[in-house]
Amino acid sequence: MADVKREIERKYEAAPGIRLPDLTGVAGTAASVPRGVVELDAVYYDTEDFRLAAGSVTLRRRTGGDDEGWHVKFPVAPGVRDEIRAPLSDSLPDALAGLIRSRVRDRPVVPVVRLLSSRDVHHLADAEGRTLAELSVDTVLAERLTADGAGATAEWTEIEVELADDVDPAFLDAVEERFAGAGVRPSASASKVGRALAETAPGERTGPRSPAGGKPGSAGERVLAHVRRQTKTIVTLDPAVRRDLPDAVHRMRVATRRLRGAFKTYRKVLDRAVTDRLDAELKWLAAELGACRDHEVLEARLSGRVDGVEPTLLLGPVRGRLERWGAAGRADARRRVLAALDSERHRALLDSLDALLADPPLLPAADEDAAGPLARAVLKDHDRLAARVHHALDLPPGHDRDLALHRARKAAKRTRYAAEAARPALGKPAKRLGKRVKAVQSLLGDHQDGVVARAALRAMAVQAHGAGESAFTWGVLYGREEATAVRLEEELPHVWARASGARLRAALKS
């Protein structure tokens, strides 16, 4: 079973002639307690083209110390990484193999560097003996293991200060200030393996080749930059979804939708003969992620509605039925998402996105200055949204209007994403339009969530009745959802007016 540790640390150069300063008195440090010297032997793995290194991800098998085993580390923020650990074994554990799959795909990971470290450990403790941080002085011998550089070595000494759990990160700032006064400087490398790769094969490129970007300032450059960001988001969030981190499924689904929107909106820039095939696969991935996300949203909405029911109107085992429904749905949705991420289809999609970025199918409009093509594309999406909103408002309340409002919501989402993608080229007018359209999208999203909630409430009322339970409370909730829908529909014309003004549109063209 893998476990996770949030690692917050800073690395420093141990330059010749520089001595570590006394740290007592720094942010509550009362003593530096020696913990002995530990010998560590770590083999780092990567693909032959160093795809993990390109994403600042490290994978190692380490013996020695109190945490020997397999470790994979993902960057969280500068100086912060999540380390996922698995017990020592001869081969890479499946739990960790899944976490790196979006980056390595079907390529094997092979040993690239071996690091032998002699670690002199000290605990920085406060007056009560509580450990504030671990300070280590590491003497490192790195040996290159890849065929093209086998046997090349590098040696250095570095200092690490790793924050203990539940200690304010400001502690590291205080330590760094004391270090700076003594001439101890931050390390130029964020990781040992990064330094080892650089020093055992100077000038070597790590990771896939940089994708083509289009002419500077052109529509092609702007659109491809957007596509690249969303592709990177999908790849980066894959392990977060597998780890069931908060909001990971939602963010990954949004990235797939932004990509789909870009391919549709900017079809004058990127050839549909290529992007339509990718759109179909992105639609599939979004649907698989949606099973999890939609259930999550619906469960939260229904739980909140139940919490808002007066006790006198709460009849029967309402909470119990809702909890059982929620747990069953979460489990089914989670299995579906993981199956999708483990599928060949998903890996093929990621490879296809890489191929598009490496050799983009640019059309003649891609060479134009970005402002013109992007503004025209955003306004075209806005026109499409306007038509759908007006059509929905012309319909009487009921099923057909609900469907029309849902279609308008999709158009609002696409227009908002188009404006956000165009913002680097169009500036504040695109930002303003995106913000106004987001308000329309949010209102229509709330409305659609209510439509879905009413269907779920009716189903649970039927189940409750069939089980001999009171269906009264489910009916109360259904009625409240209906009232919310009426209110939202009444608000829509005002919200839409703010998102459809002539001056708002004209600003995009100027």
Please tell me whether residues 407 and 288 are part of one structural domain: no
pLDDT band at 13 (very low <50, low <70, confident <90, very high): confident
- For the chain, give the percent of residues with pLDDT over 70: 97
Asked, for residue 146, whether it belongs to a domain, the answer is yes
Please tell me whether residues 466 and 408 are part of one structural domain: yes
Asked, for residue 476, whether it belongs to a domain, the answer is yes
pLDDT band at 211 (very low <50, low <70, confident <90, very high): low
Minimal CA–CA distance to 467: which of 476, 475, 456, 459?
459
What per-residue confidence (pLDDT) applies to 38?
93
CA dist 20 and 158 (Å) reads 11
State pLDDT tens for residues 239-248: 999 999 999 9
State pLDDT tens for residues 472-492: 999 999 999 999 999 999 999
pLDDT at 174 over 80: yes
Please tell me whether residues 394 and 461 are part of one structural domain: yes
Mean pLDDT of 320-341: 92
Please tell me whether residues 60 and 114 are part of one structural domain: yes
pLDDT band at 1 (very low <50, low <70, confident <90, very high): very low
CATH of the domain at 110: 2.40.320.10
pLDDT band at 387 (very low <50, low <70, confident <90, very high): very high
Q: What share of the chain is helix, strand, coil (3-state, %, to 5)?
A: 55, 20, 25
Residue found under tokens 């999540």: 82
The total of structural domains in the chain comes to: 3
Given a contact cutoff of 8 angstroms between Cβ atoms, the answer to whether 114 and 41 are in contact is yes
Strand-pairing partners, residue 77, are 80
State pLDDT tens for residues 443-476: 999 999 999 999 999 999 999 999 999 999 999 9
Length of the chain: 510
Please tell me whether residues 287 and 263 are part of one structural domain: yes
Q: For residue 371, count other CB atoms closer than 10 A to its CB.
A: 19
Please tell me whether residues 390 and 509 are part of one structural domain: yes
HEC secondary structure over 383-443: HHHHHHHHHHHHCCCCHHHHHHHHHHHHHHHHHHHHHHHHHHHHCHHHHHHHHHHHHHHHH
Please tell me whether residues 351 and 431 are part of one structural domain: no
pLDDT at 189 over 90: no
pLDDT at 281 over 80: yes
Phi, psi of 379 (to 5 degrees): -65, -35
Angle 371-394/219-242 helices, nearest 10 degrees?
60
Please tell me whether residues 348 and 416 are part of one structural domain: no
What per-residue confidence (pLDDT) applies to 306?
93
Domain boundary among 318, 337, 368: 368
Find the DSSP H helices in 342-398: 344-358, 371-394
Please tell me whether residues 184 and 240 are part of one structural domain: no
CA dist 120 and 160 (Å) reads 10
pLDDT at 236 over 90: yes
Please tell me whether residues 335 and 468 are part of one structural domain: no
Domain boundary among 352, 368, 384: 368
What per-residue confidence (pLDDT) applies to 324?
92
Mean pLDDT of 200-221: 69
| Maximum separation of any 2 CA atoms in the chain, in Å | 82
What per-residue confidence (pLDDT) applies to 216?
84
Asked, for residue 127, whether it belongs to a domain, the answer is yes
Asked, for residue 375, whether it belongs to a domain, the answer is yes
Please tell me whether residues 361 and 389 are part of one structural domain: no
Phi-psi region of 120 (alpha: psi -120 to 50; beta: other; left: phi over 0): beta
Residue 246, C-beta contacts closer than 8 angstroms, at least 6 positions apart: none
CA dist 439 and 389 (Å) reads 13
Mean pLDDT of 427-433: 94
Domain that holds residue 161: 3-200
Q: Mean pLDDT over all residues of the chain?
A: 91
